[in-house]
Structure 1
Amino acid sequence: MTRMRATVIGFSAVLLWSLLALFTVGSAPVPPLLLNTICFSIGGTLGLIWAWSTGGLRQLREVRWTTYLFGAFGLFGYHALYFSALRMAPAAEAGLIAYLWPLLIVLFSGLLPGEHLRIGHLIGACLGFAGAAVIIVGGGESGFQAQYLVGYALALLCALTWSGYSVLSRRLGDTPTSSVAIFCLAAALASGVLHLALEETTWPSNAIGWVSVLALGLGPVGLAFYVWDIGVKRGDIQILGTASYAAPLLSTLALVLAQIAAPSWGLAIAALLITGGAVIAARASLNR
């Protein structure tokens, strides 16, 4: 598989994540940890079926338990910290801090063997972050407040968790992508235990809710992790990091098309910033 093809496959995860908000809205009133449990169970089960059909189950037995622990912590830790941050701080500010992860991926990737961080990568990532800020913060005037410091700290840990997971995954290049199935099932188990301890069980109330939950498990909280694994291990991780800022843009566009959110000039400005940042980062990689 070529580096460019792996990068394109990895970017398909960003396209799937852009549907996360739309399907999450449709899945209401299912609580977050129960939603995690169901979706990770679907994604993990599909991964096992795929491994079985391709003869990859034997490979799973050869993966070290520390790798499984690392992967499960990455998937579960990111979502647990994200949901907790948004409960303990305003969603716009906490979400913006959490969306530092693409920029951190670009920065941390410079520490990987064979990778070189160029000024174009940094400029592109900063432009992408500015575009995400326009979307996430919008016209809010609340600003950052000291009373929400714990929530902000959790959001920062969330960004560090996903960026660290993504960059370190490259050091596990010999680990089969099918191992993500075990990561998902372990994350589902952890989410289920916490759900029973902390949440009241509430199932989808209609057909749209069940379809949304199924779609989440198949796409944004399922297939996305497998293609992302291919991208960060074999593709251009710096382009992927910068291009990941397309997720909040495309997510907002999906909500607009579904008439859940209203269009605005902020979307147009964000589109220019994010697209421009991705182009600059791509040119830096091509020049390399």
Structure 2
Amino acid sequence: MNEKRALFFGLAAVILWSTVATAFKLTLAVFTPVQMLVIAGVTSSCVLLILCFIQGKATDIIPTFLAQPASFILSGLINPLGYYLILFKAYALLPASQAQAINYSWAITLTIMAAIFLRQPIRHKDYLAAAICYLGVLVIATQGNLLTLHFQSPAGVGLALLSTLLWSGYWILNTKNKADPIISILLGFLVALPLMITLACYEQADWTTQHLSGWLSAVYIGVFEMGITFFLWISALRLTQNTSRISNLIFISPFLSLIFLATIIHEPIHISTVVGLVIIITGLIIQQYQKKRKKH
């Protein structure tokens, strides 16, 4: 029964994550990245707080923060503040299909950064996987024009790659954090919210003429990209006895995302994006295969 529940939660998380690139574009058609971050951040904070109350963890929030305040403040500055602000700006500059595919290379970035900062061993297959993944990024960023190295949006590509550094840095920073994961994510949002609102005030963007679709999309992002989906994924990993089977479900997400982008917002999907994404997934599978072999 637990395995069926784990598979259900895992598939639900993957399907929901697959929709967020579309939601990003729908929101960015109405709001600026800062506005989008504020709405999604407030929504996600409420969702995570409700989850804490439902699970009986609400009384642990303040003691958890006071146990290591500096760590949670730094984590909140990285994620959600820095990571999502940069990611949303990348989506504003690039087609969503390209931005999400490039961002998907974060797992390789994490391996490299873990080797540098945590002194974790990195083997030959890690180097091969990294080379393959970043070749895929290059194919996507140049739309297949590898010889000319012409980038449609160098700033967008740079921001998408920077987001992988921030996301990886966030997880490295939290490797020794033994606090409850839901509380940890919530504290990051509570730390970042005042700064998000300050940025929105400084930006002086217009909030009065926005369409309902933009608000609904931003709230959707807060609920599913930043809130409930994380809980579903953690629950799936905790219930299963076969972590690799659940983890491998994530490889479905970017391809589902392309389908949603093409059918819902009718974004043209370049063949170079599909080819580059396949190359990136190949690199990630090589990395996963190595880790699996390492356990035996």
TM normalised by structure 1 equals 0.73
Aligned CA-pair RMSD: 4.4
Structure 1 counterpart of 2:172, from 167, 172, 178: 167
Deviation at residue 13 of structure 1 after TM alignment: 6.5
Deviation at residue 287 of structure 1 after TM alignment: 0.5
Partners in 2 of 1:248 and 1:203 — Cα distance? 34
Residues 114/104 of structure 1: CA separation in 2 closer, same or farther (3 Å cut): closer
* Aligned partner of residue 29 in structure 1, secondary structure: coil
Structure 2 counterpart of 1:281, from 270, 274, 287: 287
Identity across aligned pairs (percent)? 22
- Conservation of the 8 A alpha-carbon contact between 1:78 and 1:161: yes
**Partner deviation per Cα, 1:128-180 (whole Å, 9 max, x = no partner):** 333344334425778369xx78x887666544322111222222134543221
Partners in 1 of 2:264 and 2:111 — Cα distance? 32
Partners in 2 of 1:207 and 1:226 — Cα distance? 27
**Partner deviation per Cα, 1:102-140 (whole Å, 9 max, x = no partner):** 322011233577954333233234323333443344257
Give the equivalent residue in structure 2 for 1:261: 267
Deviation at residue 16 of structure 1 after TM alignment: 4.4
Gaps of 5+ in 1: none
Corresponding position: 1:200 with 2:205: yes
Residues 84/114 of structure 1: CA separation in 2 closer, same or farther (3 Å cut): closer
Partners in 1 of 2:11 and 2:142 — Cα distance? 24
Give the equivalent residue in structure 2 for 1:44: 45
Give the equivalent residue in structure 2 for 1:179: 184
Higher mean Cα deviation, 115-124 or 60-69?
115-124
Residues 32/84 of structure 1: CA separation in 2 closer, same or farther (3 Å cut): closer
TM normalised by structure 2 equals 0.72
Corresponding position: 1:66 with 2:70: yes
The amino acid of 2:123's aligned partner reads R
For these two proteins, the number of residue pairs brought into alignment is 277
Gaps of 5+ in 2: none
Partners in 2 of 1:69 and 1:115 — Cα distance? 26
- Conservation of the 8 A alpha-carbon contact between 1:177 and 1:229: no
- Conservation of the 8 A alpha-carbon contact between 1:30 and 1:204: no
The amino acid of 1:37's aligned partner reads V
Structure 2 counterpart of 1:214, from 219, 228, 231: 219
Deviation at residue 91 of structure 1 after TM alignment: 4.0
* Aligned partner of residue 201 in structure 1, secondary structure: coil
Structure 2 counterpart of 1:188, from 170, 185, 193: 193
Structure 2 counterpart of 1:80, from 77, 85, 92: 85
Deviation at residue 23 of structure 1 after TM alignment: 0.6
